[in-house]
Amino acid sequence: MNRLTKTMTCGMLAVALGATSLAGCGKDSKIDGTKTVATCNGEEVSLGAASFLMRYTQAQMMSYYSMFGQSMSWDSVQDEEKGTTLGQSAKDNLMDQLEDLMLLKENAKEYEVSVSEEEQKAIEEAAKSFIEANDEETLKSLAVSQKDIETVLELFTIQNKMYDPMTADVDTNVPDEDAAQKTVTCVRVSAAGTETDEEGNTIELTDEEKAQKKEQAQQVLDKIAASEDVAGADMDALAKEVDENLSATSSSYGSDDTVVEDAIKKAAEGLEDGQLAPEVAEGENAYYVVRLDANFDQEATDSKKQTIVSERKQEAYQAKLDEWSEAAKFTVDEKVWDKIEVTDSNPFVFKQQETEAPEAEDTQEGTDTAEPSSDAAESTNPEEQAEE
């Protein structure tokens, strides 16, 4: 299951809704949002609620990609064998998410979770603000009513309140040996080619050029080794004395690490805290100057413990959802759901709001993308909690 769509939607709606407005092409203006699109153990979900959730997913994902200067296509094929597009995958994932939300609501009483009067009021105000912020054409295209929006926000409010009690029994004790982290500081000298041939293939460096790169790394090593205090030496500054493009970075790793290159780990073996590896380490298309800062880094170890606990909680949370899902009867009316098209020709984005003309020197010009501003469902998304 693609977690991106779920995370983006949860993250946005769980924080707030407020006077955010959407812009779409209006292609779905004849859709009947009152029709039932899905049923979970007898409880029905309207097409309007699912449409609202889907369109916000579209807008949030578009905003996410745009923020990083990337483009995306809903028509791009994700599964060559099945011919499934990104848009269809997003629709499938949203129904998986909707099932989770319905099951969490169904089992909320077991964990003494409910929506308070104050939360319900905030939800109603947020839904009303959204209706007022969007024009009639957009609302028809969404096929959404204020009640549909309230339903979705209620579901997310319950979801955000369920995570803690559902993971309360998870073992939070992690021994040092299970999370022990070493920390090293390295200067990396790349030995990868930077030029390409006529066919676009990278041209590898010659043996002579690689030798020059290794010599550059040796010069850095010699400078650091000559320092009065090797353990406290500014490796970044010393590396730049050899070549201003070089830099030093610190990394922490444990026995299960798959990120830090093996050549670095091997170079750090047997060193004491603050000691410099006596030789340049040769890695994959790079040479490294390695200093072991801490054979046991308590701060990094404590951080790793938090990660392990978060992973345990997320696994327990997902296992409970899977258990409920296996016993549940969740059905989707595909004919109704097919009315919602997620394609490049039917895009939805966050609508930018025009600002008034500047009247003072400190007034900013231009337009700003609308930001969520409701208090409804303020808790952190469970998936984001697991990642922190």
Please give the share of the chain, as a percent, with pLDDT higher than 70.
83
With contact defined as beta carbons under 8 Å apart, do 65 and 71 qualify? yes
Please give the share of the chain, as a percent, with pLDDT higher than 90.
69
Asked if residue 363 has pLDDT above 90, the reply is no
Here the tokens at position 376 are: 């409804």
26 or 228, which is more confident?
A: 228
Q: What is the pLDDT of residue 285?
A: 94
Q: What is the pLDDT of residue 217?
A: 98
pLDDT, tens only, 138-188: 899 899 999 999 999 999 999 999 999 999 999 999 999 999 999 999 999
Nearest CA to 383 among 130, 93, 108?
A: 93
Q: What is the pLDDT of residue 199?
A: 81
How many Å is the Cα radius of gyration of the chain?
A: 27
Asked if residue 282 has pLDDT above 70, the reply is yes
Asked if residue 311 has pLDDT above 50, the reply is yes
215 or 367, which is more confident?
A: 215
pTM of full prediction above 0.85: no
Average pLDDT, the chain: 86
Asked if residue 11 has pLDDT above 70, the reply is no
Query: What crossing angle do the helices spanning 146-166 and 3-15 adopt, rounded to 10°?
Result: 110
Asked if residue 351 has pLDDT above 60, the reply is yes
Query: 3-state DSSP call for residue 177?
Result: helix
Kindly report the three-state secondary structure assignment for every residue of 301-368. Answer: HHHHHHHHHHHHHHHHHHHHHHHHHHHCCEEECHHHHCCCCCCCCCCEEECEEECCCCCCCCCCCCEE
- What would the mean pLDDT of 348-360 be, rounded to a whole number? 54
With contact defined as beta carbons under 8 Å apart, do 188 and 255 qualify? no
Amino acid occupying residue 218: Q
Asked if residue 87 has pLDDT above 50, the reply is yes
Asked if residue 255 has pLDDT above 90, the reply is yes
pLDDT classification of 298: cutoffs 50, 70, 90: very high
Instruction: Report CA dihedral (132, 134, 136, 142) to the nearest 10 degrees.
Output: -120
Query: What crossing angle do the helices spanning 146-166 and 47-67 adopt, rounded to 10°?
Result: 70
Nearest CA to 386 among 295, 321, 299?
A: 321
112 or 61, which is more confident?
A: 112
Q: What is the pLDDT of residue 216?
A: 97
Map out the domains of the chain with their CATH numbers: 3-171+305-387 (no CATH), 182-295 (3.10.50)
Q: What is the pLDDT of residue 227?
A: 96
Q: How far apart are CA 44 and CA 40, in angstroms?
A: 7
H-assigned helices in 75-232? 86-106, 117-133, 136-142, 146-166, 176-179, 207-225
Query: What Å distances lie between residue 236 and 217, 222, 363, CA to CA?
Result: 13, 14, 41
Q: How far apart are CA 109 and CA 325, in angstroms?
A: 17
17 or 276, which is more confident?
A: 276
pLDDT classification of 222: cutoffs 50, 70, 90: very high
By CB atoms closer than 10 A (0-12, 13-18, 19+), residue 289 is: buried
